[in-house]
């Protein structure tokens, strides 16, 4: 272990552990760094020529800081210098070295995106959880949320993102994309992720959100009438989606009571979206195109699973 310099120790007499420090301390313990680093290593620069590359784990830590705190590449560079907690988490001692610049951070992010490692990271995290007793069961909750994108045309192309579209929810119009997730009904962890333009109906992706071994599938009334799609993806699954009234055909008292019972399970699918959009700040698309935002969504879902199960994982200590 390297000896810390005075710049990293500081001269403060009084200190209180902040929420950011507490959060990063928990993530330090629960993230399987060696497993994830090994997945990226084969795609990372070997450093045979030129300057030696920054270590994979350090760049991965900075990349995860971007997801947790909703940082752009320049913001991530600035935060390394502004925040002692983030700097310590990344393992950077400014008394010995400078932090990576925004170009280096951007290139690492592009590496994750170009190699499609978002899904690989999600699967690796779920395998890690499975090894520690958090197993995906036979019930899946399907849900979708709108992630808005900039609608302005004041850019180089003079156009909105062509892969994003607008949709109406209630009495309001939204422009952007939709994130679709399949959530285990017992453990509340995400096992399947899809991204589409916002105008794609929720029900169109239901088959892609099931792992195939379900015995029950829950969803809100947007998924009504998808029994054939459910059966095609999970042959023995029972359709537990909510029913909705039609014009002139209101729900009966029995149907309303069944919907209320189903909603007690279905509501668990909202919890991951709370973490993704409110805690991690992924309520707006940062990049143009679905591919980059899909990759970010997959990585954010993996980190959300670790956050949801952090108390369970912390009993195992460092991994």
179 beta partners: 145, 195
**Residue range of the domain that includes 182:** 136-300
Measured distance CA(262)–CA(157) in Å, rounded: 47
265 and 145 inside one domain: yes
Determine, yes or no, domain membership for 72: yes
Does residue 281 share a domain with residue 142?
yes
pLDDT tens for each residue of 170-190: 899 999 999 999 999 999 999
Instruction: Using the predicted structure, report yes or no on whether residue 101 has a pLDDT greater than 80.
Output: yes
Q: Does residue 312 belong to any structural domain of this protein?
A: no
pLDDT tens per residue across span 123-136: 999 999 999 999 99
Q: Is the dihedral of CA 132, 135, 141, 147 positive or negative?
A: positive
Nearest to 241 by CA among 256, 253, 226, 251: 226
Quick one: 147 and 290 in the same domain?
A: yes
Q: Are residues 181 and 73 in the same domain?
A: no
**pLDDT band per the 50, 70, 90 thresholds, residue 155:** confident
Identify whether residues 156 and 94 lie together within a single domain.
no
The answer on 144 and 85 residing in a single domain is no
Instruction: Mention every residue, 6+ apart, whose C-beta is less than 8 A from residue 24.
Output: 85, 86, 88, 89
Q: Name the percent of the chain lying above pLDDT 90.
A: 82
State the pLDDT confidence band at 154, using cuts at 50, 70 and 90.
Answer: confident
Last residue of a domain, one of 82, 115, 148: 115
Rounded to an integer, what distance in angstroms lies between the CA atom of residue 263 and that of residue 285?
A: 29
Q: Does any domain span residue 310?
A: no
Q: What is the mean pLDDT of residues 83-105?
A: 93
Q: Are residues 48 and 102 in the same domain?
A: yes
Q: Which of 230, 217, 227, 225 is nearest to 262 (CA)?
A: 217
- Residue 6, pLDDT > 60, answer no
Q: What is the mean pLDDT of residues 96-109?
A: 94
149 and 266 fall within a common domain: yes
**CA angle, residues 217, 126, 195, in degrees to nearest 5:** 60
Place of tokens 């029995």: 254
Residue 177 domain flag: yes
If asked whether residues 84 and 163 sit together in one domain, one would say: no
Most confident of 47-51, 110-114, 244-248: 110-114
Overall domain count for the chain: 2
In a domain, 308, yes or no: no
User: Is 209 domain-assigned?
Assistant: yes
């Amino acid at each position: 272990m390297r000896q810390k310099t005075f710049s990293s120790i500081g001269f403060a007499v009084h200190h209180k552990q902040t929420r950011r420090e507490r959060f990063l301390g928990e993530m330090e313990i629960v993230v399987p760094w060696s497993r994830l680093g090994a997945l990226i290593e084969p795609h990372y620069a070997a450093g045979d020529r030129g300057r030696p590359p920054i270590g994979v784990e350090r760049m991965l830590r900075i990349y995860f800081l971007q997801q947790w705190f909703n940082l752009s590449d320049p913001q991530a560079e600035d935060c390394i210098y502004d925040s002692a907690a983030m700097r310590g988490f990344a393992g950077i001692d400014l008394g010995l070295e400078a932090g990576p610049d925004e170009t280096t951070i951007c290139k690492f992010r592009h590496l994750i995106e170009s190699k499609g490692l978002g899904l690989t990271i999600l699967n690796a995290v779920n395998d890690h959880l499975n090894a520690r007793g958090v197993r995906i069961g036979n019930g899946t909750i399907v849900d979708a949320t709108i992630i808005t994108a900039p609608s302005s045309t004041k850019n180089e192309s003079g156009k909105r993102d062509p892969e994003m579209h607008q949709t109406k929810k209630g009495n309001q119009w939204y422009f952007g994309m939709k994130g679709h997730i399949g959530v285990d009904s017992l453990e509340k962890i995400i096992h399947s992720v899809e991204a589409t333009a916002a105008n794609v109906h929720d029900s169109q992706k239901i088959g892609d959100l099931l792992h195939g071994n379900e015995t029950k599938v829950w969803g809100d009334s947007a998924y009504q009438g998808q029994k054939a799609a459910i059966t095609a993806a999970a042959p023995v699954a029972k359709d537990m989606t909510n029913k909705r009234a039609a014009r002139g055909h209101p729900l009966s008292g029995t149907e309303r009571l069944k919907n209320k019972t189903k909603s007690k399970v279905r509501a668990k699918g909202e919890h991951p979206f709370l973490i993704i959009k409110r805690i991690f700040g992924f309520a707006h698309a940062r990049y143009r195109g679905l591919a980059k935002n899909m990759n970010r969504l997959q990585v954010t879902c993996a980190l959300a699973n670790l956050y949801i199960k952090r108390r369970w994982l912390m009993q195992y200590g460092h991994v």
